[in-house]
Chains A and B, each alone.
Chain A
């Protein structure tokens, strides 16, 4: 609760608008992003068509506003950009030159970066667990920092992989969101980043242990996929995927998947706490986990975010399908399952908003929904065949 002392001058109570709140740092941020984006445009414009330039402008604006809205993302982006630039510099223009470069080999090469990402995520999980069991500022700070570092490594790895694909040949180069291996990393990163956002905003740190445990699970899968199935090789794009739509459709989809995953983790935390309140009042869980209202609220917000992103992604997908397959909707298994996911969360939101349902039943629903979402993401690739068979297991 907010309290304002009587001595405060009235002037200060007047709320400043979003734009009035911006400081000189925000201006610098905007400038850095614009200059960086301009530099990227100058360096790579020969590879881009007009749609892709439009996407770049949109991405630049998104990045600037994102930085205004969430300050912590700025050092994150700057770190990723710096590391990626170092990697580009070490790689040079010829893929043969860099062989034996230790910095690349052990840190910045996409494979190395993904390994570091995995290690840091597992480390973050460990410290979130420590913080959960034995509340301590140091554990928590370490955990959060590791989570940030892991996300930096992963995103750097993806950007470097983008460059590496061009080193294999100009016609092979493409944004690394084209197969299951690549989107899996994207999914892990987005889930981690979204959690960091909610933790930052709502101080719901104890939920970190649930989120990072799930992320660790995905990391283990990624390791299996890397080492056992050798899925890390960069493959050239099949004709159906050669489109600017891929750059927007896929990331939008994974914001959806990531947010839904997060919502289910908050749902689990909600259920654990509500169970503990009944069976073990004033016990350990109640001291550790945030209050039910907050968990419920974040779960709702995550679903709203996921639903919005998923809607946009599905629409982008439909527009792409109209261009590639001759129809907005072909009832391909992936499309159909995307619709099922969408309908599921639409029903959830309806009951929430119009019927005012909340509490444990909605939390259960959010938790169970993750299985539907994961089936749409992975199950369809494993069990069903169709037009979307880019990442078969």
Chain B
């Protein structure tokens, strides 16, 4: 069997330009797009491993599902759609253009009679010229343009309206091709191409700011025609590059100029929500600006365009604020009650501590000036809880606890508390500890806590404050022993530890009685210690304590129960700070923009031409046969909805009825 190349190509073109293929492609693109919205895109790989497990992680990775929209297969489908539409256009354009300019006066009477709208008259001889003049006049008043042709035996008037309607079809499809091409030009195709050619390599290590980056991961200005990069720039710093992210790693794109961040600020509404993110930047460009720098202010929705590069305000964060901290230990050594440690650090850096229980690292992560949170009593009202510090505490083996400490005491039911949240993984919510504040300091509570750990001291205090019953009998030693044990248990595991112990040692029938005795005794002991602390503060406590102190004790006891689960051996108080902000800038360079703009314009124009103009043709065929006039009126429309055209056609028929003074011979 001989198959010619010509026929293969023909068949291929036929398939490519078929409507079925185009529609199948539309549906495939739609379905593929759904995947990318269901599975969060471009997350760090560990997140996917955790969510999917190692097996499915690998399967999904091979399918490119973490970045569907720039995966090879997705790009191929888009390219396929472009080819399909282009082939279709290539085949249709000549036909349509020809149809647009032609009037089709050469039409045969048989074809006219076969049209959906067609009527034929036979009438005694009349002035054909007058008839034609009348008909063409009516055509013009209905916005038709017409041509007439005299063939000797007969005359044809061919009229057309809205012939540019078909242009709509062309424009929309050209537009779609242009938009997809523009989009592909602006995709990370170029990066992937360079990577595939081995000219660049993605850097996957985490490198600190300003550390040297291997040449293979760097791109010179103009190395790729389009990019979208980001950089976090602390106030006062200058950059001449941005980071491009690719495959869970990054590349460095150098810029032909430098950007200096003079100042970054966040403006707030009265309610506390952010109102504006404003970066004051300075462009330094010896080559184009000389020594005169260009100052500009950029905001969200107000980028700066400089030499074709667009600079956007896209993010913000801490640029290394300087912090003064105080670590209040929860567990004191034997000699001293409380020995707070003053520390200094800056956000983004670490503080190393060594202690009895091994080395600890404080990773200072973020300082937030405002914390707008819903008030406890209503979902709607927001309250600013002031500055907060988030940090991680990492032990020798690498286990980390994450903390969120508010600087200013938080008001709750008229009392104030130092609030600190803790969690061991990002997925958990924070568990909070509420340290009651006295005289705007957490000191009293922390001292109380430290003292309770010092059992020797507790014993001395108990000896000084014996109650009558304890004095009078031999129970003294037993009571003291029980009290000390209860304190020890309580400090190790809170109330649950106490009741667990009771359960372990007391028979079931007496459990309730003994447990409540234990609790009473414990609370009494705690109160005694607390009064001693107050006495040491210089407060007069012999005639009892005030209501405030009673409430404080209650809050303190509650806070004590949460200390054992707090993780950290100290409470880190943020004393003061000097904020240094950094602004996240996005810099883009695009080549596809003009394609996309033209595409948008053509698409809108095309759609409105296509849907809101109508394409209609009308023919009048006229001949004098056997001393009679034979006249055929026929027409067709490209509209999907025929009814408007039918009405117009009927109108024309009425006019001709009138002119010819007769009724139609034949109706279709």
Contact = CB atoms under 8 A, between A and B. Distances in A.
Interface residues of A, number: 59
Interface string A6-20: 100010011101000
A312 B608 CA distance: 10
A110 to B, nearest CB: 17
A235 B34 CA distance: 31
Contact of A10 (B30, B312, B611, B658): B658
A304 B611 CA distance: 7
B77 to A, nearest CB: 12
A250 B621 CA distance: 52
Contacts of A308: 607-608, 611-612
A75 B276 CA distance: 41
A350 B37 contact: no
Using C-beta atoms within 8 Å of the partner chain, give the interface range for chain B: 35 or more
B301 A331 contact: no
B379 A239 contact: no
A331 B641 CA distance: 36
Contacts of B143: 15, 17
B34 A340 contact: yes
Interface stretch (B47-55, B266-274, B285-293, B552-560): B266-274
Identify whether the interface residues of A are mostly helix, strand, loop, or mixed: helix
Given A326-B312, A329-B183, A339-B33, A315 B604 contact: yes
A329 B596 CA distance: 11
A380 B37 contact: yes
Interface stretch (A57-65, A154-162, A352-360): A352-360
A283 B94 CA distance: 51
A347 B27 contact: yes
A6 B380 CA distance: 73
A324 B301 contact: yes
Interface string B160-198: 000000000000000000000001001000000000000
B12 interface: no
Contacts of A235: 273
Interface string B647-661: 100110011011000
A326 B275 contact: no
B657 A6 contact: yes
A47 to B, nearest CB: 16
Nearest to A358: B640
A343 B29 contact: yes
B588 A326 contact: yes
Contacts of B577: none
Interface string A335-352: 011011001101100111
A384 interface: yes
A336 to B, nearest CB: 5
A230 B19 contact: no
Contact of B379 (A13, A230, A297): A230
Interface string B600-630: 1001100110011000000000000000000
Given A340-B30, A347-B23, A236 B651 contact: no
A6 B663 CA distance: 11
A333 B37 contact: yes
A242 B302 CA distance: 10
Given A15-B141, A171-B275, A326 B310 contact: yes
B303 interface: yes
A326 B586 contact: yes
A216 to B, nearest CB: 27
A371 B426 CA distance: 35
Contact of B640 (A300, A315, A319, A384): A300
A301 B655 CA distance: 31
Nearest to A243: B301
A325 to B, nearest CB: 8
B654 A13 contact: yes
- The list of the 6 closest CB pairs from A to B, nearest first, reads A239-B300, A14-B141, A333-B37, A243-B301, A343-B30, A236-B269
Given A230-B379, A239-B299, A308-B611, 12 more contacts: A2-B647, A2-B650, A13-B654, A236-B269, A308-B607, A308-B612, A311-B604, A327-B228, A339-B30, A346-B26, A352-B640, A354-B19
Interface of B: 19, 22-23, 26-27, 29-30, 33-34, 36-38, 40-41, 68-69, 134, 137-138, 141-143, 183, 186, 228, 269-271, 273-277, 299-301, 303, 310, 312, 314, 379-380, 586, 588, 593, 596, 600, 603-604, 607-608, 611-612, 640-641, 643, 647, 650-651, 654-655, 657-658
25 contacts: A1-B647, A10-B658, A13-B138, A230-B379, A235-B273, A238-B273, A239-B275, A239-B276, A239-B299, A239-B301, A300-B640, A304-B611, A308-B611, A312-B604, A326-B228, A326-B588, A327-B186, A327-B228, A331-B36, A336-B33, A339-B30, A339-B33, A347-B26, A350-B23, A351-B23
